[in-house]
Structure 1
Amino acid sequence: METTSSSGNPLMDLSDNLADIVARVGRSVVAVHGRHRMPSSGVIWRRGVVVTAAHTLRREDGIEVTLTDGRTVAAVLAGLDLGSDVGVLKLDGVDLDPIDSGDAHSLKPGHLALAVARADDSGVSADFGVIGSIGGPWRTWKGGQLDAFVRLDGGLRPGFSGAALADMRGQVIGICTSALMRGAGIVIPGMTVERVTDELLAKGRVSRGYLGVGTQRVGLLDAWVNKMNLSFSSGLLINSLAPGGPAEQAGMLIGDVLIELDGKPCRDMGDVSAALGSASIGQQLHIALIRGGERHECSVTVGERPQRNSCR
């Protein structure tokens, strides 16, 4: 729904338009009680389904949601994906309208945006700002894949993780989180929320590949780079192995330095995460590593990352 100027005062018209957007979006924003301190926010993404920031859910049972009409109802945890920071809750007997979703790809740096949150004691809250930067698909430091990188121009206020991020048409282009980049508010795009929500509702988790290694990025000796004719100068030192994990079964050792996965450079954990999507599970990866100053090669069958209890 578009609003038009009517008062002759541009600032008053802008103020009224912003308030209208907050009111409309706020009808689909709830407060989520999933931790001991202040609640986070959540969005009615589909009928009977609330999406929030996964890192704010610190328990599996006893989660409650305060609705737009002031009622507080029980919610069932459908699943969490810490990689993308998406948590999904199911509500029984609640028939509230879901958000009107937009497209993060329509945004540009400098576009105005509204974060709309809700607390059970003070109702709807809003934060007004601009889109700080936009980029293509982005892999988080936790291994999740976002369909677009959208950073706000500042950090998020307490309680705004899980809030709806709306454009100036009142369409929700994603949900806000403070957990994916230090000191910055990141928007989980709607297309990512849709994809992850589908998987969490279907099976309660998001499947990701798993090697079972702990690593540390290290610089490669010039002698190794020259001897092996490498085009890069860093690799990943294996400093731990999961007992019985794929890497250990493949014969990899603590102290090995990973340099290639399926012929592609392995310079940091981003390169590893890129090779370990859900489609990689059960597939063989060809590994190149440095052991004792010599190139060593092996094959590893990718496992599925174990699910950890992230609610604490």
Structure 2
Amino acid sequence: MTNESSNSPNSLTALSNTLAEAIAQAGKTIVGLKAGRRGSSSGIHWRSGIVVTTSHALRHEDSVTLTLPEGTATATLIGRDPAIDLAVLRLPDTVSLPAANLGDTAQLRVGHLVVAVGRSLDTGVTASMGIVSAIGGAWRTWHGGKVDQFIRPDIALGGFGSALINTQGQILGMNTAAPRHSVLTLPAATIDRAVNQILSQGRIVRGYLGVGMQPVQLPEAFCRSLELEGNGGVLVVSVESDSPADRAGVLIGDMIVGIEDRRIEELDDIQRMLDPEQVGQPLAVKIVRGGQKVDLTIVVGERPRRAD
């Protein structure tokens, strides 16, 4: 009698076949690119005619040659968000590619199998398998960019701009380099929000006060005398001329201790108040100046563009 199980693929073979199929499907949406001196990178055909990749890989190019699953094409840069390391490119109308099949990162857990899928200019689709090594909540980059979820996969990067996929072949986000040779993934929700704003406004709008700041610790007795909760604050070390803060009367040496009835103790506390929807809105700011509490109103401006 034939053993029925001997005619069925074992679990490892089944998993291998599943991953190979998932990579093949995702690979149809992945492009390769070479720009400047950064070597080869990858990009993802995010939606019809729109490719996303990492901002720092492009330097200052206005057009980029892409290696497609079949042939090449020249894409134009339509916008970027250096704060989250994202660039958005537009394909010519003559190019037709399947759009990314996006997955939900809300169900992602530490230990889940994931694969980085890129495209080499020489060998085509590339893949690196690993697991999710860390998951966290929303966070901000050093440049103030808001990222919806912290995702750190334990994978080889294999080129900037590769896609992170699950075992179903769904694209969860885009991979970029992090400190100490690790990898971070920009989740799909973050990329979608940035793409929408770039397509509608041509740029990323962020709030701006026009001050240089550093966190400080205040003496407990001093905080008690002013009835301040906690003992932290943010010291103003510079004020840009004609900035929102300058027009509101902020001075060097002021200590910001509250905004809109929220206690301010760290720089991140202020960054959270400067999301795009706050531009043009007044903020009630509580500062300590010369040992006294002073209330000011700052109308949030739009952060000036900076060189990429």
Corresponding letter in the other structure for 2:188: G
User: Is residue 253 of structure 1 aligned with residue 251 of structure 2?
Assistant: yes
- Residues 63 and 77 in structure 2, CA contact (< 8 A), matched pair in contact too: no
Count matched residues.
302
Instruction: State the partner residue of 1:185.
Output: 183
More displaced stretch, 45-54 vs 135-144: 135-144
8 Å CA contact 1:173–1:189 kept in 2: the answer is yes
User: CA shift at 1:182, angstroms?
Assistant: 5.6
1:265 corresponds to which of 255, 263, 266: 263
C-alpha distance after superposition, 1:141-192 (max 9, x if no partner): 32222222222236x5351x2111101111111111225x664322211122
| Counterpart in the other structure of 2:3 | none
Secondary structure of the structure 2 residue equivalent to 1:95: coil
Q: Distance in 2 between matches of 1:122 and 1:241?
A: 52
Structure 2 unaligned runs (5+)?
A: 1-5
Corresponding residue for residue 237 of structure 1? 235
Q: Match for residue 79 of structure 2?
A: 79
Gaps of 5+ in 1: none
SS at match of 1:18: helix
- Identify the residue that residue 302 of structure 2 maps to in structure 1: 304
Residue 163 of structure 1 corresponds to 162
CA contact (8 A) 1:7 1:13 kept: no
Pairwise CA distance, 1:291: 1.8
Q: Which amino acid aligns with 2:214?
A: Q
Q: Report the identity percentage.
A: 39
Aligned to 1:196, the other structure's residue is in SS state helix
CA apart distance, 1:292: 2.3
Judge conservation of contact 1:225–1:231 (CA < 8 Å) in 2.
Answer: yes
C-alpha distance in structure 2 between counterparts of 1:121 and 1:190, whole Å: 28
Task: Evaluate the alpha carbon distance shift between residue 245 and residue 9 of structure 1 in structure 2; reply closer, same or farther with a 3 A threshold.
Answer: same
1: CA distance between counterparts of 2:62 and 2:228?
Answer: 51
Show the counterpart of 1:114: 115
Taking only aligned residues, the RMSD between alpha carbons, in angstroms, comes to 1.9
TM-score (norm 1): 0.90
Q: Distance in 1 between matches of 2:125 and 2:240?
A: 46
Q: What is the TM-score normalised by the length of structure 2? A: 0.91
Instruction: Indicate conservation of the 8 Å contact 2:157/2:177, yes or no.
Output: no
2:147 counterpart of 1:146: yes
Which whole-Å CA distance do the structure 2 matches of 1:230 and 1:151 have between them? Answer: 38
Query: Counterpart of 2:20 in 1: which secondary structure?
Result: helix
Shift of 1:64: 1.9
Amino acid at match of 1:149: F
Q: Which residue of the partner structure matches residue 133 of structure 2?
A: 132
Are residue 91 (structure 1) and residue 107 (structure 2) matched? no
- For 1:7 and 1:231, locate their aligned partners in 2 and report how far apart those are by CA, in whole Å: 66
Which amino acid in the other structure matches residue 285 of structure 2? Answer: I
- 1:76 is displaced (CA, Å) by 0.7
